[in-house]
């Protein structure tokens, strides 16, 4: 490891709010400890570190992926669910865009869409792609449920945190 | 029929033929646990992916076409473009060390030697809320192919006038990738920015573009943190998304 890398690592550790980091490679081991007065109530600072366990957990969930969305044959029938009364909408969960980019409903122009209104989806199912600067981002649903509404048109720009789908988790 | 090897600490799954190594990696990630750093290499891709809807041209068994799976990345959506930059840098190092020819990174992440394309990158990430689940880094590096339909393509064999061992080349390339992916993990973003811009094709020069259907002569000032091209024309600064502007060269 180069000196610059070690410096960067120290900066990274101190910023992240963790107390101790240990890295071991083939012929090299480094332990960085901070005396940790940083552990104040600063949840925002710690969020980054907490990603690790969260991710690990989600990855273990066996995603019983129904091989790509069967091109919903009954689509027209469910295309227009009666608009629910306003207060019911509150029970729906929004799948939001984690980034700025272009919203695509299918993996490529000649492929069927990932999800259609009325489809049952499971947590971890891919619901769309957001392309951002040549990076193709599959967006997985964080909830299981039924897709009630698709809030964005295919191939249109989306903003950070913009709701994309309404999902009825019940 | 697949063959498993370990190269430079990476598990490498070698497939004689596949639709696209990125697709294979996606399916693998859905059906089983995949160790981070796993490489899917294929001698032949029937639907090698370029940008959305475009294909990557490669003769069977002559080039490196593979996907690298990372599932321990700690980036958020705002810093994900650094991954794109870092991969571009790693490929440039590989080509330059091998050929000693001026090698540049054309925004966003094509690798050029003598204005011809030698390598391309296609990254597919997967997200749940704000957390990245995994990243599949598709790489096409032209090695031993000496004839291309596209006159703007080049390979190491065309530069060096000799063929290379693909697995040895893969090993070296993976070493470069490990170094630069590690810098993303360590958030050494300044170093990534500096290195990317040091080799950015056309930096500080005026280039011809096609922007919103019109031709434009603009000076390249750099690439922003979120990956946009920053240009200047007639004292007017403008940022462009990949889809909004095209190089004419």
Q: Which of A48, A51, A134 sits opposite B84 (nearest CB)?
A: A134
Pick the residue from chain B with its C-alpha nearest to A135.
Answer: B123
pLDDT at A96: 94
CA of A105 to nearest chain B CA: how many angstroms apart?
Answer: 13
pLDDT at A170: 81
HSE, side-chain direction, 13 A CA sphere, residue B16? 2
Structure tokens, B21: 């190594």
- Residue contact A8–B81, C-beta within 8 A: no
pLDDT band at A14 (very low <50, low <70, confident <90, very high): low
CATH fold group of domain A83-168 = OB fold (Dihydrolipoamide Acetyltransferase, E2P) (2.40.50)
Rounded to whole angstroms, the Cα distance separating A86 from A106 reads 30
The total number of residues shown for chain A amounts to: 170
pLDDT at A52: 35
**Which residues lie below 8 Å from residue B108, measured CB to CB, with a gap of 6+?**
A133, A134, B81, B84, B88, B223, B227, B242
- Residue contact B227–A8, C-beta within 8 A: no
Structure tokens, B27: 């399916």
Which of B142, B80, B74 has the alpha carbon at shortest distance from B108?
Answer: B80
**Digitized pLDDT (tens) for each residue of chain B, 249 residues in all:** 568 999 999 999 999 999 999 999 999 998 999 999 999 999 988 877 765 556 667 888 999 999 999 999 989 888 899 999 999 999 999 999 999 999 999 999 999 998 999 999 999 999 998 889 999 999 999 999 999 988 999 999 999 999 999 999 999 999 999 999 999 999 999 999 999 999 999 999 999 999 988 999 999 999 998 899 999 999 999 999 988 899 886
Report the C-alpha dihedral over residues A155, A157, A162, A164, rounded to 10 degrees.
Answer: 0
pLDDT band at A110 (very low <50, low <70, confident <90, very high): confident
- Residue contact A135–B83, C-beta within 8 A: yes
Q: Which of A16-20, A87-91, B56-60 has the lowest mean pLDDT?
A: A87-91
**Which residues lie below 8 Å from residue A161, measured CB to CB, with a gap of 6+?**
A96, A97, A98
Pick the residue from chain B with its C-alpha nearest to A99.
Answer: B77
Pick the residue from chain B with its C-alpha nearest to A6.
Answer: B186
Burial class (CB in 10 A: 0-12, 13-18, 19+), A68: middle
Parse chain A into domains and list their residue ranges: 3-76, 83-168
Which of A157, A134, A72 has the alpha carbon at shortest distance from B54?
Answer: A134
pLDDT at A161: 93
Interface contacts A/B by beta carbons within 8 Å: 110
Q: Which residues pair with A96 in a beta bridge?
A: A163
pLDDT at A67: 44
What is the DSSP code string of B181-240?
Answer: HHHHHTT-HHHHHHHHHHTBTTBTSEEEEEETTEEEEEEEEEE-TTSPEEEEETTEEEEE
The answer to whether the beta carbons of residues A100 and A158 sit under 8 Å apart is: yes
Rounded to whole angstroms, the Cα distance separating A34 from B210 reads 52
Residue linked to tokens 């094509």: B110
Rounded to whole angstroms, the Cα distance separating B41 from B11 reads 10
- Residue contact A140–B126, C-beta within 8 A: yes
- Residues of chain A with Cβ-Cβ distance to B127 below 8 Å are 98-99, 137-140
The answer to whether the beta carbons of residues A97 and A132 sit under 8 Å apart is: no
pLDDT at B59: 83
pLDDT at A41: 43
**Which residues lie below 8 Å from residue A130, measured CB to CB, with a gap of 6+?**
A97, A98, A99, A101, A102, A103, A104, A137, A139, A158
Average pLDDT (A41-63) is 38
CA distances from B12 to B38, B93, B125 (A): 6, 22, 20
> Which of the two residues, A52 and B245, has the higher pLDDT score?
B245
The answer to whether the beta carbons of residues B8 and B178 sit under 8 Å apart is: yes
- What ipTM was predicted for this assembly? 0.86
Ordered structural domains, chain B, with CATH: 3-198 (3.30.930.10), 206-247 (2.30.30)
pLDDT at A2: 64
Structure tokens, B113: 């030697």
> Which of the two residues, B51 and A53, has the higher pLDDT score?
B51
Does A69 have pLDDT greater than 70? no
> Which of the two residues, A91 and A22, has the higher pLDDT score?
A91
């Amino acid at each position: 490891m180069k000196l610059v890398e070690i410096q960067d690592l120290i900066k990274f550790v101190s910023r992240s709010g963790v107390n101790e980091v240990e890295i071991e490679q083939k012929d090299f081991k480094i332990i960085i400890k901070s005396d940790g007065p940083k552990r104040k109530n600063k949840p925002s600072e710690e969020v980054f570190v907490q990603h690790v366990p969260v991710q690990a957990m989600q990855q273990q969930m066996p995603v019983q992926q129904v091989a790509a969305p069967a091109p919903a044959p009954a689509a027209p029938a469910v295309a227009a669910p009666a608009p629910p009364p306003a207060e019911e909408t509150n029970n729906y969960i929004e799948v939001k865009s984690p980034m700025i980019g272009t919203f695509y409903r299918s993996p490529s122009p000649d492929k069927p869409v990932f999800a259609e209104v009325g489809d049952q989806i499971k947590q971890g199912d891919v619901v769309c792609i957001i392309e951002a600067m040549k990076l193709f981002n599959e967006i997985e649903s964080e909830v299981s449920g039924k897709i009630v509404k698709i809030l964005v048109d295919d191939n249109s720009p989306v903003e950070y945190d913009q709701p994309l789908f309404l999902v009825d988790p019940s | 029929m697949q063959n498993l090897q370990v190269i430079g600490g990476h598990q490498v799954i070698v497939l004689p033929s596949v639709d696209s190594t990125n697709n294979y990696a996606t399916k693998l990630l859905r059906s089983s646990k995949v160790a981070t750093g796993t490489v899917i290499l294929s001698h032949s891709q029937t639907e090698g992916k370029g940008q959305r809807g475009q294909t990557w041209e490669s003769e069977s068994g002559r080039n490196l076409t593979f996907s690298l799976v990372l599932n321990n990345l700690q980036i958020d959506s705002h810093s994900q473009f650094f991954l794109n930059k870092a991969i571009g840098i790693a490929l440039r190092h590989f080509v330059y060390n091998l050929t000693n020819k001026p090698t540049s990174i054309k925004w966003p992440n094509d690798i050029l030697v003598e204005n011809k394309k030698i390598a391309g990158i296609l990254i597919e990430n997967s997200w749940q809320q704000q957390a990245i689940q995994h990243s599949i880094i598709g790489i096409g590096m032209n090695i031993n192919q000496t004839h291309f339909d596209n006159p703007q393509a080049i390979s190491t064999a065309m530069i060096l006038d000799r063929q290379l061992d693909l697995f040895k080349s893969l090993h070296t390339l993976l070493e470069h990738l490990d170094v630069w992916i590690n810098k993303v993990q360590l958030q050494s973003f300044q170093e990534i920015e500096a290195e990317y811009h040091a080799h950015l094709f056309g930096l500080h020069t005026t280039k011809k573009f096609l922007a919103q259907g019109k031709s434009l002569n603009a000076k390249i000032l750099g690439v922003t943190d979120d990956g946009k091209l920053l240009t200047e024309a007639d004292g007017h600064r403008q940022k462009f998304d990949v889809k909004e502007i095209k190089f004419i060269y």
